[in-house]
Every structure is written in structure tokens, then in C-alpha cells.
């Protein structure tokens, strides 16, 4: 009897699981709509009803898409999704993905101060709209002041959606649009807690306000965070317009909402889309951001995305589709030093944005958190792990990792600690990220942290003093590649080098929400107008804003041409001196193209690049053919079955006209040391966007046994718009062990312009 009852229960559980619904994105072939339907919405609805007929609850449609893809998103059971995939006119049915956020000295550091003449800011210059898909906007911020801007462009089709604590009147000539998309979020997570987040474009988090004001915020004088980084804060394109699309919530950013936001942004008339979010790497036909970005590219919209914050590990990138501009993070030449002075006279430099009651000037007892806890993770200062009787009135050394940096300070404070030293571990190396701590605190590098912990272990009565020293500028060397910035190689297509470029992403000052404190933690009751935070989330809108500047200066350029200009004029060595290579904050050693792509963005050179590597839809389709994509996979990306792969044409990834070179040799067919030579040839085409001139090439790689042969070695351009092609052959004399890598650079120069491309060579 018991066994029978258990069997009945098991069958009931299995049946309930089979009926459980999840969100799926359904891609439809628009041209396949049967004649009996008046429009595509009617067809989508009928298709959805057909797979759920006879079930206890009908499948629910969340969104219908018509711009960045043709199709809809719906809540389906596994069986319904399978049935839908088999229907005529259905190209693909993909499960929803959950994405996460990749969380005012910048204009001066980038050379933009006083360079207004390079970038037209009247007429069409102010017509560029940067669409930011993020956590919404705090419209009351002065960064959205529209003083001096002309009327909203007549081509703009966007709107300002009213909602909780957000009126349609919140928009103006600067903030020209605001929408929110929450159906996917609430379908997956349940009804939102409206006491914690607003069902409207209102930014309750701060991230979206920070990114959108970084991209195109108006100039705001006397901006600072508690006196740090004081000065004028302005976006990269201060005369551009901003439109926000709230697609990220407390529970994450869901692909059905992201696609709805991208769908609206492109239809509204945005010229640039900025997405500081990611969900790891996936095949392009299943990556919602890549799918939306492909359609945006077709409609002449540049899409800029953050590379991710999973560094310094290799192969950690997000958003690697070649039609996306993938942005990593570097440091600025500004720092916020703090000093840890030990009782033995040693002095160690760190960083801090602490601005509360001055820490004691007399030495205070110093203790390592691992010695003040009964927990195996006590060294990390996790909540509830410190013993108050051991840390009361003392400065506590906490190891960085697992929990948020600022949260560790809360833990120390709540346990009665007087201050905190936050010590990096090997994962973060010497990279220092400043935080607005609520108690006297300083973050120090791995080496300094090890020295401080060694002092504690060797001294019977260790003491320390923390001194917060304010803002320091002209820090050298800078930039460094941020340790957290995700790295290559590209695991989806190793022959495409990613990231494309790096921009400022460490300790960035920009506008903030009035709903959250600078740490973002619920216990932080402080409110600020500007905040300093770090991440590739911050570097991405820098490049988005710079793309808007280039679009205003060169409205005829395609998204690929704009990206090419940014990449080929980027720098990978420090200016002045012997041209030493940009360093990696994680190791202190020279960084590589897997870390920075083409290099650090240099907008004043990008406006006049001389030559560009251009790309269009047909070029990307050829790339997909080289990847052996099926007709349905291509149609799901390109939204049309008119594109296809010709049986009589040879396709190669190496022929994609990309502004960088990635050569991936395979060791699968031979052992390391195999003496047979292997040659890989890339074809590229350059378009002249400057004056007539003759360009000569210089190419080299830092790897013995590999030669580079460019043909021809000289290209003569007589008119703007003229195109010239060349080939590059990379020959490896013998095979190398898997994982071996080498790097180089190929540069075309006419004496005035240097059109540079990074080279990465790997054995897999």
C-alpha cells in the first residue's frame, strides 16, 4: 500500500514538473505567415494557442517583437516548447537567459577637454540618441539638464512612460525617452516588491543613472562624492540625447525584457545602444543580446557592451559577437590614496573613499579577522563570523573575496571594530578599487596585505593607524588593465579577437539615484548626487558616448566603421619614454591583446583615423556561413530567409573584415614540435575616409618560429571612399603545445595616420 502511494506521489510530482512553465523566446519567419492572418500578431497568438489547447492553463504571451527579431516570448512547458519548435514558420525556440549587471576626470584623461572643435555639437550633432538598457534613471539629477539643447529631433519616436513615482513630464530635451520592461522578470520571479523597487523607469539601484550619465550626461559643475574627485562631471557626449530602457531589476535582467527594450530602442530611433550587462558566452543564435544587436546593426545602430567582470582569469568574456563592440576596463590617472601606518614604522599605501569621523591619530590595536573568528571563512569577514569580544575597538584586517567589499566593513563595524584594512588576495593582485566605507578603512594590494598580516603574526602587540588622504591626480603609470576586466581568448569563435578595446572603468564619478546609498547596501542611509564605482559597466558607456561623438562627426559611417576608428587609433603602449607596454593591474606585468584588445581608446585620434575596416550585414552572414550555421539559425539572427550560404562559395572566418587578427592553430592533427609548417591567411579591405595618401605596412609578432607576410606592402589611395584589399599570411614553422600564445601588431601608416591592428596567435 505504501509503495503504491509513493508511486502515485512520484507520478504526480513528475506530472506537475512537466506542466511547469518557463519563458521561451520564439523566433518566427515573418515571410511564412499564412494568408488567413491579417497581421503577424494574430499569427503569433494563434500559434501559441495551438500548442496549449486542452491544457489546464493556456500559455501566456509576454511580448511580441517586430524590430530586433520577428516573434514573441511566452511562458511554455517543455512539451509546449517542443511542439512550438516543430511548427511551420518557427525558426527557433530558445529558453530565456538571465543576465547580470557588470558593475569626472575622464574627459581630461581621454584628451577631450577643450577639443569641442573636433566634434560638431550643433545641427545633427545633437540629434544622436544614446539608448541605455539598464536599471532606469533618476531624472532629477542635474546630469539630465537640457539647458542649451535644441528641440528633440523630429525623427525621434520614443516616449516617456509614466509609472510608480515617475511622471511622463520627467523627460526633457536631454532625457528624451524612458520605458520599462518587467513582464519577463515578474513571470520568472513573481510579483515585484514595490516597497523595494518601482514599477516604472525610476532607478532604485543607481547603476542605470551612473551609466547613462557617463555616456551622455550634461556638464555639472562642483560634482564630487564626499569631497573626493571634485570638479565638473560630464558625459562623453554631453550634447547627445539620452533614452533609458529599464530592463534590469533586483532579481536580474531577463532576456525577454532585454529584447523588448532593444526592440523599442531601435524602433524609437536610437543611434547607439549601451548595455552594461552580460550572461556568459553562448552560441550567437542562442544569445539574445547578440540576436538583438545583429538587427540593430542592420539598421545602422552601434551596440556597445561590457566585456564582463570575471577577470583576471582567461576566457572569461561576455558579449563576443563580432557585430558588438566589446569593452574591457582600464584605470584612470586619478586615485584616492589611504595609508596604513604600522607600529613598526612601516607605511603601506592603499585606497579609500571614507569620509566620516576622522579615524584615531594614535595607534590602534590591529588584528587579523582569521584570528577573531571560529568560522573557517572568518578571514573574509562574512556576516556573523567575527567575535565581538575579539575585535572591539580594533582595526581588523579582512581578506577580499566572496562578499561585497563594503559589506565586510559593515560586519567589522557591527562587531565593534574601529576600522578595517581590506587585503587583496591573488585573485585581485595589486588592483585597488576605492569604496565609500562607513568606518575608517583602506583597501591594499596583495603584497601589502601579506606584509601587514606577516607583521601581525610576528608582533605580540601589533598596532596601526589609517590615514585617508583625499584625491590624487596624474598617477603613473596609467592606464592599467583592471584586474576584474574579463579576458580573452574568445571561446565562441577563437578566430575573432575580443575584447575590442578598453576604456576607463575604475573609480568613475557619475550621477547616482536618490533611492540608494553609495555602497548600494540597504543599511547605508547616506544619499549622494554622484557616486564613484568601478566595473566594465563603467567602461562600456564611455565607449558608447564616444561612439555617439563619432556618429555626430561622421553621420555617414556605419557601426563597423565607427568601431574600426576607435580600435585602430587605440594605444597599447604608454606615451612618452620608451613606449613601454600597458601593464596588467592583476600581475604588474605587460598586458596582452587578450586583456585590452586593440588597446585603450583615444577619441581625439579616432575622429580622423585615415582608413577604416568596414562591415555590413552580408559580411556577417558570410561569417555565419563559415561557422556552418543552418539556414534557420541564420534566419533567426538576420530575421529573413533571403540570406543564405551559396554551395559554390568558400567561406572562412579569417575573411571577416575585422580590425584585429586572431590566429588559432590547432594541435589536434599533430604533436607539439611537429616540424610541418602551417599557414593561415587573412584577407582584409581598407576604406579611405581621409585625404589621398600612400600607406606602408609594418607587421611583427613576438613569437619565434612564426612569420608574417603582408601582400601588398603598400596601398595607394587617391580619393575618399576608395577601397583597397590585402592579405596577411601567418606561417608557423612547427606546432607548439596547446595554450601557447604570442602577440604582435600590424600598422598601416602614411606618415600622419597610423592604422593599427593587434595580432594574437594561439595553439588550441
Range list of β-strands (E), 523-667: 530-533, 583-584, 611-612, 661-665
Pairing of strands 272-275, 302-306: parallel
Cell (9 digits) for 166: 515617475
**Topology (CATH level 3) of domain 335-466:** Glucose Oxidase; domain 1 (3.50.30)
Is the pLDDT assigned to residue 513 strictly greater than 90?
yes
Q: Report the C-alpha gap between 630 and 646 in whole angstroms.
A: 12
Catalytically active residues are 134, 207, 537
pLDDT digits (tens, 9 = 90+) for 311-337: 899 999 999 999 999 999 999 999 999
In the chain, where the domains are located:
20-94, 97-331+477-604, 335-466, 609-614+656-761
In this predicted structure, the answer to whether residue 723 has a pLDDT above a threshold of 60 is yes
Instruction: Of 320, 347, 392, 376, give the one whose Cα is nearest residue 658.
Output: 320
Q: pLDDT by residue (tens digit) across 373-429? A: 988 889 999 999 999 999 999 999 999 988 889 999 999 999 999 999 999 988 778
Q: Which of 117, 179, 170, 121 has the alpha carbon at shortest distance from 145?
A: 170
Q: Cα separations (Å) of 202 from 62, 211, 221, 614?
A: 22, 14, 24, 38
What is the average per-residue pLDDT within 652-675? 80
The answer, yes or no, to whether residue 649 has pLDDT greater than 50, is yes
Pair 764, 666: CB distance under 8 Å: yes
Which residue intervals of 248-377 are DSSP H helices?
255-268, 288-298
3-state secondary structure of 691: coil
pLDDT bracket for residue 729 (50, 70, 90): very high
Q: What residues have CB less than 8 Å from 610, skipping those under 6 apart? A: 688, 689, 690, 693, 695, 750, 752, 753, 755
- Tell me which of 198 and 404 has the higher pLDDT: 198
Integer angstrom CA distances of residue 410 from 116, 140, 433: 44, 30, 17
Q: What is the DSSP string of 494-538?
A: TTS----EEEE-SSEEEE--SSS-TT--TT-----SEEEE-SHHH
CA 145 to the chain's CA centroid? 26
Helices (H) and strands (E) in the chain, counts: 17, 39
Give residue 435's pLDDT band: very low, low, confident or very high (50, 70, 90): very high
16-20, 221-225, 676-680, 739-743: segment of lowest average pLDDT: 16-20
Query: Over the stretch 120-162, which tens digit does the pLDDT of each residue have?
Result: 443 344 689 999 999 999 999 999 999 999 999 999 999 999 9
C-alpha 727, offset from chain centre: 32
b/e burial code for range 522-538 (CB count within 10 A of at least 16 → b): eebeeebbbbbbbbbbb
Residue 751 has which C-alpha cell? 606618415
Q: How confident is the model at residue 358 (pLDDT cuts 50, 70, 90)?
A: confident
What are the start-end ranges of the E strands in 508-557?
508-511, 530-533
Three cell numbers at 45?
A: 497568438
Q: Identical fold at 20-94 and 97-331+477-604?
A: no
**Could you tell me how far CA 413 lies from the centroid of its own chain?**
33
CATH entry, 609-614+656-761, from 2.60.40.1120, 1.10.1270.20, 2.60.40.2310, 3.40.50.1400? 2.60.40.2310
Is the pLDDT score of 747 beyond 50? yes
Can you tell me the mean pLDDT for 86-101?
Answer: 92
pLDDT of residue 174 exceeding 60: yes
To the question of domain 97-331+477-604 being in CATH 3.40.50.200, the answer is yes
Distance from C-alpha of 286 to C-alpha of 92, rounded to nearest angstrom: 9
CB of 189 closer than 8 Å to CB of 251: yes
Task: Tell me phi and psi for residue 746, to 5 degrees.
Answer: -120, 125
Q: Does domain 20-94 have CATH number 3.30.70.80?
A: yes
Per-residue pLDDT reduced to its tens digit, 262-318: 999 999 999 999 999 987 778 999 999 999 999 999 999 999 999 999 989 999 999
The predicted structure's pLDDT at residue 677: 74
pLDDT of residue 56: 54
What per-residue confidence (pLDDT) applies to 561? 98
Note the pLDDT of residue 733: 82
Q: Are 389 and 414 in contact (CB under 8 A)?
A: no
3-state secondary structure of 134: strand
The answer to whether 13 and 6 have CB atoms below 8 angstroms apart is no
The three grid cell numbers given for residue 114, joined into one nine-digit string: 577643450
State the CB neighbour count (10 A cutoff) for residue 755: 24
- Can you read off the three cell numbers belonging to residue 49? 494557442
Q: Across the chain, what does the average pLDDT equal?
A: 91
* Per-residue CA distances from 391 to 383, 426, 442, 449, 527 (Å): 14, 25, 17, 18, 29
Phi, psi of 430 (to 5 degrees): -95, 5
Interatomic CA distance for residues 329 and 503, integer angstroms? 5
pLDDT band at 694 (very low <50, low <70, confident <90, very high): very high
Residue whose entry in the numeric block shows the C-alpha cell 568558400: 650
Please check whether residue 485 is in contact with residue 592, taking contact to mean a CB–CB distance below 8 angstroms. Answer: no
Of 568, 589, 572, 569, nearest to 581 by C-alpha is: 572
Query: Can you tell me the mean pLDDT for 333-359?
Result: 93
Amino acid at each position: 500500500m505504501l509503495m503504491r502511494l509513493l508511486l502515485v506521489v512520484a507520478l504526480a510530482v513528475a506530472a506537475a514538473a512537466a506542466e511547469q512553465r518557463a519563458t521561451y523566446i520564439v523566433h518566427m519567419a515573418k515571410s511564412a505567415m499564412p494568408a488567413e492572418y491579417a497581421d503577424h500578431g494574430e499569427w503569433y497568438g494563434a500559434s501559441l494557442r495551438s500548442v496549449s489547447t486542452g491544457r489546464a492553463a493556456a500559455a501566456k504571451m509576454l511580448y511580441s517583437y517586430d524590430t530586433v527579431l520577428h516573434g514573441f516570448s511566452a511562458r511554455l512547458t517543455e512539451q509546449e516548447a517542443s511542439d512550438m519548435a516543430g511548427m511551420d514558420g518557427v525558426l527557433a525556440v530558445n529558453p530565456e537567459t538571465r543576465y547580470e549587471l557588470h558593475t569626472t576626470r575622464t574627459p581630461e584623461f581621454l584628451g577631450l577637454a577643450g577639443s569641442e572643435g573636433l566634434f560638431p555639437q550643433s545641427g545633427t550633432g545633437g540629434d544622436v540618441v544614446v539608448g541605455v538598457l539598464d536599471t532606469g534613471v533618476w531624472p532629477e539629477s542635474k546630469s539630465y539638464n537640457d539647458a542649451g539643447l535644441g528641440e528633440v529631433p523630429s525623427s525621434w519616436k520614443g516616449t516617456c512612460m509614466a509609472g510608480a513615482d515617475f511622471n511622463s513630464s520627467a523627460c526633457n530635451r536631454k532625457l528624451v525617452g524612458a520605458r520599462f520592461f518587467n513582464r519577463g522578470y515578474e513571470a520568472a520571479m513573481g510579483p515585484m516588491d514595490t516597497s523595494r523597487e518601482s514599477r516604472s523607469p525610476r532607478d532604485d539601484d543607481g547603476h542605470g543613472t551612473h551609466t547613462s550619465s557617463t555616456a551622455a550626461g550634461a556638464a555639472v559643475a562642483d560634482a564630487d562624492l564626499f569631497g573626493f574627485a571634485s570638479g565638473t562631471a560630464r558625459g562623453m557626449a554631453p550634447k547627445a540625447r539620452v533614452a533609458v530602457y529599464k530592463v534590469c531589476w533586483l532579481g536580474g535582467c531577463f532576456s525577454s525584457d532585454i529584447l523588448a527594450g532593444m526592440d523599442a530602442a531601435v524602433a524609437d530611433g536610437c543611434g547607439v545602444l549601451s548595455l552594461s550587462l552580460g550572461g556568459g558566452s553562448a552560441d550567437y543564435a542562442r544569445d539574445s543580446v547578440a540576436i538583438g544587436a545583429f538587427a540593430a546593426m542592420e539598421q545602422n545602430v552601434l551596440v556597445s557592451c561590457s566585456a564582463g567582470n570575471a577577470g583576471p582569469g582567461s576566457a572569461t568574456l561576455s558579449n563576443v559577437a563580432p557585430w558588438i563592440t566589446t569593452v574591457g576596463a582600464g584605470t584612470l590617472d586619478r586615485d584616492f590614496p589611504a595609508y596604513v601606518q604600522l607600529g613598526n614604522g612601516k607605511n603601506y599605501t592603499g585606497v579609500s573613499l571614507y569620509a566620516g569621523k576622522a579615524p584615531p591619530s594614535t595607534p590602534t590595536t590591529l588584528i587579523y579577522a582569521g584570528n577573531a573568528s571560529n568560522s573557517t571563512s572568518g578571514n573574509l569577514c562574512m556576516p556573523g563570523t567575527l567575535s565581538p569580544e575579539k575585535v572591539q575597538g580594533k582595526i581588523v584586517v579582512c581578506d577580499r573575496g566572496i562578499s561585497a567589499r563594503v559589506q565586510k566593513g559593515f560586519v567589522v563595524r557591527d562587531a565593534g571594530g574601529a576600522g578595517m584594512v581590506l587585503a587583496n588576495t591573488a585573485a585581485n593582485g595589486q588592483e585597488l578599487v576605492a569604496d565609500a566605507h562607513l568606518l575608517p578603512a583602506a583597501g591594499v594590494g596583495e603584497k601589502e596585505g601579506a606584509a601587514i598580516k606577516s607583521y601581525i603574526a610576528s608582533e605580540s602587540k601589533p598596532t596601526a593607524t589609517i590615514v585617508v588622504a583625499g584625491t590624487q591626480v596624474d598617477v603613473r603609470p596609467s592606464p592599467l588593465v583592471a584586474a576584474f576586466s574579463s579576458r580573452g581568448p574568445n571561446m565562441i569563435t577563437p578566430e575573432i579577437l575580443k575584447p575590442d578595446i578598453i576604456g576607463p572603468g575604475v573609480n568613475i564619478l557619475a550621477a547616482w539615484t536618490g533611492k540608494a546609498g553609495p555602497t548600494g547596501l540597504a543599511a547605508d542611509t547616506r544619499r549622494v548626487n554622484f557616486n564613484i564605482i568601478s566595473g566594465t559597466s563603467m567602461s562600456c558607456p564611455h565607449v558608447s558616448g564616444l561612439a555617439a561623438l563619432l556618429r555626430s562627426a561622421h553621420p555617414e559611417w556605419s557601426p563597423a566603421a565607427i568601431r574600426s576608428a576607435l580600435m585602430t587609433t587605440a594605444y597599447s603602449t604608454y606615451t612618452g619614454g620608451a613606449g613601454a607596454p600597458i601593464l596588467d593591474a592583476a600581475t604588474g606585468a605587460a598586458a596582452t591583446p587578450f586583456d585590452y584588445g586593440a588597446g585603450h581608446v583615444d577619441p581625439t585620434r579616432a575622429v580622423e583615423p585615415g582608413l577604416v575596416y568596414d562591415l555590413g550585414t552580408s559580411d556577417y552572414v558570410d561569417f555565419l556561413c563559415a561557422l556552418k550555421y543552418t539556414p534557420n539559425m541564420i534566419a533567426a539572427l538576420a530575421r529573413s530567409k533571403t540570406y543564405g550560404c551559396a554551395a559554390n562559395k568558400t567561406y572562412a572566418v579569417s575573411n571577416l573584415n575585422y580590425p584585429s587578427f586572431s590566429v588559432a592553430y590547432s594541435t589536434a592533427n599533430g604533436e607539439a614540435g611537429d616540424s610541418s609548417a602551417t599557414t593561415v591567411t587573412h584577407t582584409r579591405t581598407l576604406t579611405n575616409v581621409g585625404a589621398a595618401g600612400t600607406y606602408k605596412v609594418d607587421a611583427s609578432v613576438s613569437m619565434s618560429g612564426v612569420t608574417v607576410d603582408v601582400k601588398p606592402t603598400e596601398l595607394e589611395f587617391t580619393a575618399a571612399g576608395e577601397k583597397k584589399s590585402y592579405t596577411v599570411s601567418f606561417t608557423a614553422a612547427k606546432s607548439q603545445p596547446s595554450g601557447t600564445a604570442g602577440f604582435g601588431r600590424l600598422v598601416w601608416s602614411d606618415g600622419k595616420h597610423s592604422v593599427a591592428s593587434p595580432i594574437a596567435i594561439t595553439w588550441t
